[in-house]
Amino acid sequence: MNSDSRETKTPPALVIDLDGTLIRCNSFHRELLSVLRTGRLANFLLELIRTKAWTKSRIKLAVAKSCPALDFSQCFATEVLTLVVEGRRQGIPLLLATGASELSAERIVAQLDFDIPFISSTEATNLTGRNKARALVAMFGEQKFNYVGDSKADFEVFAHSKQGVLIGRDVRLSSQARKRFPNLTILWSAGRCRH
């Protein structure tokens, strides 16, 4: 037996989207509502002007900086947490990949009972759709990761993943996904978080 045959294969990484997937809401929308409700609009506008935040990713960061840390603990999707916990148990490499700002992702990940590495939007790149797909292929390789997402923007990522899991809440979107990705798993989920 040669040394090559004794090597164990590393399972594909499990990559999880944040908004609408790991949490059953959109972190940016919750943070923006908090900014508006708590009278922090002036802080937000000053941050926009100071950073010349005229791109999606910069606006996300300006909102996060203007907003206090919010409690997302009631918004975690138990069916996705189950996938993550099982992946951890099996030693599967895990990664959270989100279009949210780094500050938002950091705050939300801190509310989990375990550590999970993440990649997020930066001031230069809105990490959604095609940008997220490119980043993941650069990290893992084509078809070398499994991906869990919830939206049409995630179709770009599913196209490059080995296996995709769509968190289903919308019959039409699930039908479109099934037609485009016949091997896609659809995991039906409870509705959005209203907190």
Under a CB-based contact definition with an 8 Å cutoff, are residues 145 and 164 in contact?
Answer: no
In whole numbers, what is the pLDDT of the chain averaged over residues? 90
The model's pTM = 0.89
How far apart are the C-alpha atoms of 123 and 180, rounded to whole Å?
A: 32
The total of other beta-carbon atoms located within 10 Å of residue 63's CB is 29
Q: Mean pLDDT across the stretch 156-177?
A: 95
More confident residue, 73 or 194: 73
Task: Please write the tens of the pLDDT for every residue from 136-164.
Answer: 999 999 999 999 999 999 999 999 999 99
pLDDT band at 7 (very low <50, low <70, confident <90, very high): low
Under a CB-based contact definition with an 8 Å cutoff, are residues 112 and 141 in contact?
Answer: no
Q: Mean pLDDT across the stretch 106-128?
A: 95
What confidence score (pLDDT) does residue 155 get? 98
More confident residue, 23 or 4: 23
The angle that helices 27-37 and 102-109 make with each other, rounded to 10 degrees, is 100
Q: Which residues does 170 contact at the CB level (< 8 Å), separation at least 6? A: none
Q: Which residues does 54 contact at the CB level (< 8 Å), separation at least 6? A: 48
Task: Please write the tens of the pLDDT for every residue from 33-85.
Answer: 998 888 888 877 887 777 765 788 888 888 898 889 999 999 999 999 999 99
What confidence score (pLDDT) does residue 42 get? 82
pLDDT band at 8 (very low <50, low <70, confident <90, very high): low
Domains of the chain: 3-25+72-188 (3.40.50.1000), 29-66 (no CATH)
